[in-house]
Structures are given as C-alpha cells and as structure tokens.
Amino acid sequence: THTLTLALPKTGLRREGVGELFLGDLGIPEIAFRKAGIDYTSPFDHRFVLPLRIQ
C-alpha cells in the first residue's frame, strides 16, 4: 500500500494500513503558510514527492 499526502503531513497517517507514505508538493507559496500562522520551510527543494517517515 502507498499513501500520498499533499502539502503537509496530516493527523491519522500513523494508522495501520497506510503503508509506504509520501509527501507531495502542491506548490503552495510559503507566505500562504505564514499567513495561516504555520511556521513552514519547504522540504522539497527541486523535488515534487518525498518519502515521509513519521516517528
């Protein structure tokens, strides 16, 4: 099983059955996160999808 979550990790992704987890870039500008009160630095660099490991 593979699961793709977009923009930010979400609650509930630690549930059984999620399988291999990936984070996808939607291209949301960092200023949009700041305006929403979210301290955010993009982890994507020049990539569109990253493997995600939740601890």
Taking the domains of the chain in order of start, what are their residue ranges?
2-51
Is the model's pLDDT at 55 over the cut of 90? no
Is the model's pLDDT at 35 over the cut of 80? yes
The answer for 16, left when phi > 0, alpha when psi is -120 to 50, beta otherwise, is beta
One-letter amino acid at 5 equals T
**Segment holding 30, helix H or strand E:** helix 30-35
Instruction: Identify the pLDDT of residue 53.
Output: 84
Distance CA(52)–CA(36), nearest Å, equals 23
Q: What is the pTM of this model?
A: 0.83
- Which two structure tokens, joined as six digits, stand for 10? 């979400």
- Which two structure tokens, joined as six digits, stand for 2? 């593979």
- The pLDDT tens digits for 8-34 are 988 888 888 889 999 999 999 999 999
One-letter amino acid at 34 equals R
